[in-house]
Amino acid sequence: MKRILVTGACGQIGSELVKYLRNIFGAENVIATDIKKPSDFLKATDGFHYLDVLNMDELARLVVEEDVDTIFHMAAILSAVGEQNPQLAYRINLQGLMNVLEVARQKGVRQVFAPSSIAVFGPDAPKENTPDDTPLNPTTMYGVTKVAGEKLMQYYYLKYQLDTRSLRFPGIISSETAPGGGTTDFAVDLYVHAVHHQSYTSYIQADTPLPFMYMPDAIKAIVQLAQADDSRLSRRVYNVHAMRLTPAEIVRSIQKYLPDFECYYQPDHRQQIAESWPHSIDDQNARRDWNWQPDYDLDAMTRDMIEKLSQKLK
């Protein structure tokens, strides 16, 4: 990795990935792109470019002009917004990925990382310890685009030897940039409300289990997989897991530090999406092939989230 381009750099994962990569590879070697207005941090650097991933010519121009050899393609529409506008989710998630892969092939980019999701699994997949290889019958457009995206990445690897790599992420909990339009966003909302001393009404039922991961572990997983020796990889797409959590368990963990925090439950249409997904994921292939292991459990994450969000509030 010498010259890196990140799409979706203003998003929940993209914004933290850019910071992390710039620390390792130097700010001048990490080009951040998005259609959103950049944060003050990104605005203050030269390396931000407005880029719509649906504009293939612009993408190709940037890759050539900046001599890019690695792309982290983070731009995406998440599950809840995807159900409100499935056609938009299809265009951004699939046409966007196709544009990235095709530009990478044409312009000699060496590696493309793009995240997948637990949303590739549908109601017929095993709920506990869902393995990498199992039926993929998602019931959301987001999930459909992620399954097709995984296959597209594998196709480019097999047909054109483009080094494509992907992770099936669970819900990501983070303190820096708010997630946008996902079913698992409630987990971040719980912490934000608690730190503001406000109660929260969860749109997911108290006892619905879902797989989660804390952002530092998510960034670690991306960079670890991207840097893993190709000869050690037995597949292009890996499950990664950290914690199986219900909303009530997160609330109880928050209450250890903020005992006055209260949560009410009023499930909406997102409950059905959550119920179609697994509770926990089997990530033994990632652990074996490139030594994946998360650092954070629920209480360690809660302590760090409350500390970071409290600092921001000050």
Q: Torsions phi, psi of 42, nearest 5?
A: -75, -35
Kindly state whether residue 78 participates in binding ligand AKB, applying the rule CB under 6 A.
Answer: yes
- Residue 251 interacts with ligand AKB (CB under 6 A): yes or no: no
Active site residue 142: yes
Nearer to ligand AKB, 47 or 211 (CB): 211
CA distance 51 to 55: 8
CA-based radius of gyration for the chain: 19
Size of the site for ligand AKB (CB under 6 A): 11
Could you tell me the smallest distance in angstroms from the CB atom of residue 212 to ligand AKB?
A: 9
Distance of closest approach, residue 75 Cβ to ligand AKB, in angstroms: 14
Interface with ligand AKB, residue 117, by CB under 6 A: yes
CA pair distance 118, 35, nearest whole angstrom: 25
Name the segment binding ligand AKB (CB under 6 A); options: 113-121, 123-131, 190-198, 255-263. Answer: 113-121
Which residue of the set 90, 142, 200, 203 is catalytic?
142
Provide, rounded to whole angstroms, the least separation between the CB of residue 89 and ligand AKB. 10
Strand order in the sheet with 171-173: 171-173, 210-214, 243-245
Cα–Cα separations (whole angstroms), residue 49 to 38, 108, 127, 200: 9, 21, 41, 37
Cβ proximity to ligand AKB, 119 vs 286, nearer residue: 119
Cα distances (Å, whole numbers) of residue 250 to 33, 38, 272, 305: 33, 31, 20, 12
Q: For residue 264, how many C-alpha atoms fall within 13 Å in the half-sphere facing its CB?
A: 5
Helix 56-65 to helix 96-107 angle, to the nearest 10 degrees?
Answer: 40
The verdict on 68 binding ligand AKB (CB under 6 A) reads no
Using CB under 6 A as the criterion, what x/- string covers residues 151-170 for binding ligand AKB?
Answer: ------------------x-
Answer yes or no whether residue 183 interacts with ligand AKB by CB under 6 A: yes
Q: Is 149 in the site for ligand AKB (CB under 6 A)?
A: no
Q: With binding defined as CB under 6 A, does residue 184 bind ligand AKB?
A: yes
Q: Does 276 bind ligand AKB (CB under 6 A)?
A: no
For residue 258, the Cα-to-chain-centroid distance in whole angstroms is: 28
Helix 247-257 crosses helix 298-313 at what angle (to 10 degrees)? Answer: 60
List residues binding ligand AKB (CB under 6 A).
78-79, 117-119, 142, 169, 171, 182-184
Active centre residues (catalytic)? 142
